[in-house]
Amino acid sequence: MPAEAFRDLWQTLKSGRPWSGIVKNRRKNGDHYWVKATATPLADGSGYMSVRIKASRQEIEAADQLYKRMQSDASIRLQEGHLARGGMVMRIAGWLADLPITRRVVLLNVLAGLLFVASISIGLRGFDESRAAWHEMQQEQIAGKLSGTSIEQARRTAEQHYEQAALAFGVLGLIGVFGFGGITLLTLHHIRRSVDVATGFVDGIAGGNLIGTLPTVGRDEVSQLIVKLAVMRNNLHELIALIHNEVARMAANSESLNTVASETRESANDQSGLATTMAAAVEQLSVSVDQIGDHARETHEASELSSQHAQLGAAVISGTADEMSSIAQAVTTSAEAVDALSVLSKNVSMIVGVINDIAEQTNLLALNAAIEAARAGESGRGFAVVADEVRKLAERTALSTKEITGIIAKTQGATEQATSEMRQVVDRVQRGVALASDAGSSISSISDSATSVLRAVEGINYSLAEQGTAAREIAQQVEKLAQGSEFNFQRATVIQSAAGDVHKLLKELQTHAAKFRIT
């Protein structure tokens, strides 16, 4: 961009005029882009407003060529974004075009008046010269100084002066008439052209075209009107652009609001249903708490009874353990007696063994005596009889000892079995005593636990009473919550309806705003 463009821009804005032109901007990365900018000063004088739209390829090419020429030729000047007029005639024409209409009308009247005065002055001067020539001719004729030829020449001279004066008067009159008419027509044409430009500019704005090219205007009243219209168009462009952006943002927000309102409505409906269900559940919970309280009281009574029975059972088991200890002691004593009997049976068995040995020896001795008696013959017959009786007695003794030995053996076996069983009984009784002792300890623990259960049940009763009160309060609060949820559902329905209406209004506003062309 040449420096002349920026000089013209700031000078135009400082003078309160709009500036329109093709601007080449540079990006931070070094690239550039072209825009068609229209800058207008703000009404309060605090700054300016610039409306920038995309420039066409033809506008870009023309501006690029102009700016290249300006870089090489510093004499090229800009005026309000356009190429300034060159040459004296164009400058005078531009100066006349920039004059206000009132000044142009005053100038037209002044010029017409000057031409009228000049024509009258020249005409009167010619008439005076003609009249003077006639008067001189008449004086000389009266004095007899003029001949016929001189009179004719004087008459012709007077007529010539008259004709010259009339011609000058006519020419100046025609010049005044045609000059006044021409200037009037030019003024009217300029006014009509300015009005047509203003009308076309206004028609474009009325048709929604807010990006039209700002026409080249002068400084007359119609041009000032176009300048004000340009400022109004820029303000309207900014307003419509702001409306476009805000409506788009509000449309997105309204859609979000509509969605949120719908979700809120559904959530409020679900919340209302959940609150109703919760209220019923809390009511059922309150009933259940009351039932649990009843069961807890029954449990308290059963726990008291169990504690009493546990204490009674502990006493019974303690007595049973004592009795079992006595039984164990008696069985132990019996076992000791049976053991002593077993020892005696063994002693008897030993004695029976000795007797059996004696019987066997006696039997041998009897047999030897019988043999010796047989040897003795008749003299030993009596001894043989005795020996035979002794042998029989020895045999009976041996048989008896065998029977006694068998009985003693059975007795010893029974004694040993009884001893073993008594020992087992003693062991079982001792284990029973231990178990009874453990049972007593367990019963004591049960009793202690039952006491703890009683205290816990009492605490449960107290807690259940508080929970019952809290459950009823919760039921009341949940009922209020259900009512609030129903109210929220109704309000959410209203909000959703309002959001829908706002969305429709924004759509209509978008439709109306789309009628204005800003890009």
pLDDT in single tens digits along all 519 residues of the chain: 788 888 888 888 887 777 878 888 888 888 888 888 878 777 677 788 777 778 888 888 888 888 888 888 877 888 777 776 655 545 555 555 566 666 666 666 676 667 666 666 665 665 565 566 556 655 655 555 544 555 566 566 656 666 666 666 666 667 666 766 776 776 677 677 777 777 777 777 677 766 666 666 566 666 667 767 776 776 676 777 777 777 777 767 777 777 777 777 777 677 667 767 776 776 776 677 677 767 667 766 766 776 676 677 667 666 666 776 777 677 677 667 667 766 776 777 677 677 777 777 777 777 777 777 777 777 666 767 776 777 677 777 777 777 777 777 777 677 777 677 767 776 776 776 676 677 667 667 766 766 776 676 677 777 767 776 777 777 777 777 777 777 777 777 777 777 777 777 767 766 766 655 656
Cβ-contact 397, 361 below 8 angstroms? no
Assign a CATH topology to domain 1-84.
Answer: Beta-Lactamase (3.30.450)
Contacts of 63 (CB under 8 A, 6+ apart): 21, 22, 24, 34, 55
**Residue 140 buriedness (CB in 10 A; 0-12 / 13-18 / 19+):** middle
How far separated are the first and last CA of the chain, in Å rounded?
A: 23
Cβ-contact 60, 22 below 8 angstroms? yes
Grouping H, G, I as helix, E, B as strand and the rest as coil, residue 40 is strand
Please tell me the distance from the alpha carbon of residue 379 to that of residue 356, in angstroms, as a whole number: 31
Q: Which helix (H) or strand (E) holds 48?
A: strand 48-54
Beta bridge partners of 517: 209
**Residue 149 buriedness (CB in 10 A; 0-12 / 13-18 / 19+):** exposed
- Our measurement of the distance from residue 418's CA atom to the centroid of its chain's CA atoms, rounded to an integer in Å, reads 92
How far apart, in Å, are the Cα atoms of 428 and each of 278, 327, 372, 419? 62, 11, 65, 14
Neighbouring C-beta atoms of residue 308, cutoff 10 Å: 12
Neighbouring C-beta atoms of residue 368, cutoff 10 Å: 11
Q: Which two tokens mark 285?
A: 């919970």
Please state the pTM of the whole predicted model: 0.38
How far apart, in Å, are the Cα atoms of 337 and each of 54, 88, 409, 419? 132, 166, 18, 9
Assign a CATH topology to domain 251-513.
Answer: Helix Hairpins (1.10.287)
For the chain, the domains span: 1-84, 86-206, 251-513
Please tell me the distance from the alpha carbon of residue 20 to that of residue 229, in angstroms, as a whole number: 14
Please tell me the distance from the alpha carbon of residue 512 to that of residue 515, in angstroms, as a whole number: 5
Given CA atoms 428, 431, 437, 438 in this order, what sign does their dihedral have?
negative
